[in-house]
Structure 1
Amino acid sequence: MLEVKGLSKHFGGIRAVDNCSFSAEKGRITALIGPNGAGKTTAFNCISRTMTPTAGEVWLDGERIDHLRPHRITAKGLSRTFQISRNLADMTVLENVICQSKISGWRDLFKPAMSPSEIDKAMAILDFLGITRIAHEDGSNLSYGQKKLMDLAALLMSDPKIILLDEPAGGVNPTLLEEIVGHIRALNDKGMTVLIVEHNMELIMRLSHRVVVMAQGTVIADGTPEEVQKNPAVLEAYLGGALEDAA
């Protein structure tokens, strides 16, 4: 579904992502992990084109997309969340979700701000996520976990083929975390391809089919959760860095 080839992003002499290559198999959950500063979110930004890559290629379902603008990539079927919710605080949850709907063209300018079909679709997604009760809440009144669920709902409005989740568990209480994990599994069971960046290793190891490990901007390991846990390079990247920090 997604293939990244030789992706690089340089900031002057800093190589945040350096000749990075990996893929996300259709219908599977792939995790992108690594210590802080490994380049995971920068790679996400380059894939979704919210940041222009220095070099490399990104292919979605057999079509090259790294030259497209972000809204065109979304239209092709790739949607993402961000570490920090980008909701509009002066709008309700329902309005925030609907504003992520697909745009068909200039004729949409003459349609109501929220069409009946969009409302029905958004409410169905909120129902799937179990948050219809907050549909008319102001976005600024939500808890951190509720904002994560709202972001997930908004992402689904574009009918994506693959979703990129940037730390969906970050700052979420354990109960709500299990709900989010359940929703990700349910989406995957329906055929959704998922690429996830997350620091919660226990979650990653029980949720993912495949794990790609980054360190210092490049891929150092790629395999099943069991294989990655035993990989000496991965242990060195995590434990070596931790020991250096402690020292």
Structure 2
Amino acid sequence: MLEIKGLCKYFGGIKAVDDCNFGVERGSITALIGPNGAGKTTAFNCISRTAMPTKGSVWLDGERIDKLRPHQITQRGLSRTFQISRNLADMTVLENVICQSRIGGWRDLMKPAMSSDEIDKAMGILDFLGITRIAYEDGSNLSYGQKKLMDLAALLMSDPKIILLDEPAGGVNPTLLEEIVGHIRKLNDQGLTVLIVEHNMELIMRLSHRIVVMAQGRVIANGAPAEIRENPAVLDAYLGGVLEEAV
């Protein structure tokens, strides 16, 4: 469904992503893992076009998308979250979520700021995530975990067919983490494809169908969790005993 071919992103002499190649199968949960500085988030930025790749290509359902603008990529069904929530603090949760609705062009200028259809859709998503109680809460008053859930709700407003989640478990308490994991599984069961960057190895090992491992901007391993857990190159390169502890 998603193909990354020869993707590179250079910052002067620094090769943040260097000849990166991997694919994401339709209907899968694929994890992109690696140590800090491996190039995972930079790869995400290039895929979603919040950063311009130096070279290489990104393909979604057979269409090249790395030359498109971010909103055009979203319109084609790919949406993402960020490590740090980008909510608008002076707006309610409901308003933040509706901001992510699909853009219909100039005709939208004639519509109310929040149509009844958008409100119904947003409330349905908030209900699915179990956070309707905070729908009218100001975005600045949310806990870190609530912001993560709001970001996920906003993501779903664009009707994506593949979502890129950048560290959804980061800074989240264990109880809320299990809720987020459950939501990801339900969305995947409904047919949504997921690509996830995450440092929580225990979570990755039980959630993912496939794992892509990056180090120093390159893919060094790609396979099922059991294969990655036993891969000598992965263990020797940088993860040490972390994967063994996650079993």
Q: TM-score range by the shorter chain?
A: over 0.9
Match of 2:147, SS state, is helix
In structure 2, relative to structure 1, the CA distance for the partners of 1:241 and 1:46 (3 Å cut) is: farther
Equivalent residues of 1:35, 1:237 under 8 A apart: no
Alignment of 1:138 with 2:138, yes or no, is yes
Equivalent residues of 1:228, 1:234 under 8 A apart: yes
Q: How does 1:229-244 map to 2 (within 5 A)?
A: 229-239=229-239
Q: How does 1:94-109 map to 2 (within 5 A)?
A: 94-109=94-109
- How far the C-alpha of 1:62 sits from its partner, in A, is 1.0
Per the alignment, residue 93 of structure 2 pairs with 93
Equivalent residues of 2:235, 2:241 under 8 A apart: no
Q: Deviations over 1:103-141 (max 9, x none)?
A: 111010110000000000000000000000000000000
Q: 2:237 and 2:85 mapped to 1: Cα distance? A: 29
- Runs of 4+ off more than 6 Å: none
Aligned residue identity for 1:184: I
Equivalent residues of 1:80, 1:165 under 8 A apart: yes
TM-score (norm 2): 0.97
Alignment of 1:15 with 2:15, yes or no, is yes
Q: 1:213 and 1:236 mapped to 2: Cα distance? A: 13
- How far the C-alpha of 1:239 sits from its partner, in A, is 4.0
Equivalent residues of 1:94, 1:122 under 8 A apart: yes
Q: 1:240 and 1:203 mapped to 2: Cα distance? A: 17
Q: 1:241 and 1:166 mapped to 2: Cα distance? A: 23
| Structure 1 spans left out of the alignment, 5+ residues | 243-247
- How far the C-alpha of 1:237 sits from its partner, in A, is 2.3
Aligned residue identity for 2:213: V
Aligned residue identity for 2:144: Y
Equivalent residues of 2:33, 2:213 under 8 A apart: yes
Equivalent residues of 2:88, 2:96 under 8 A apart: yes
Per the alignment, residue 245 of structure 1 pairs with none
Per the alignment, residue 205 of structure 1 pairs with 205
Per the alignment, residue 150 of structure 2 pairs with 150
Per the alignment, residue 52 of structure 1 pairs with 52
Alignment of 1:117 with 2:117, yes or no, is yes
- How far the C-alpha of 1:236 sits from its partner, in A, is 1.6
Aligned residue identity for 2:165: L
Aligned residue identity for 1:116: S
Q: 2:35 and 2:107 mapped to 1: Cα distance? A: 46
Q: 1:14 and 1:55 mapped to 2: Cα distance? A: 14
Per the alignment, residue 245 of structure 2 pairs with none
Q: 2:90 and 2:112 mapped to 1: Cα distance? A: 19
Per the alignment, residue 191 of structure 1 pairs with 191
| Structure 2 spans left out of the alignment, 5+ residues | 243-247
Q: 2:180 and 2:62 mapped to 1: Cα distance? A: 30
Q: 1:239 and 1:129 mapped to 2: Cα distance? A: 33
Q: Deviations over 1:27-74 (max 9, x none)?
A: 000000001100000000000000000000000011110000000000
Per the alignment, residue 31 of structure 1 pairs with 31
Q: 1:115 and 1:15 mapped to 2: Cα distance? A: 45
Q: 2:136 and 2:223 mapped to 1: Cα distance? A: 43
CA RMSD of aligned residues (A): 1.1
Match of 1:17, SS state, is strand
Per the alignment, residue 160 of structure 2 pairs with 160
Deviates more, 1:84-93 or 1:233-242: 233-242
Q: Deviations over 1:212-238 (max 9, x none)?
A: 000000000000000001111100222
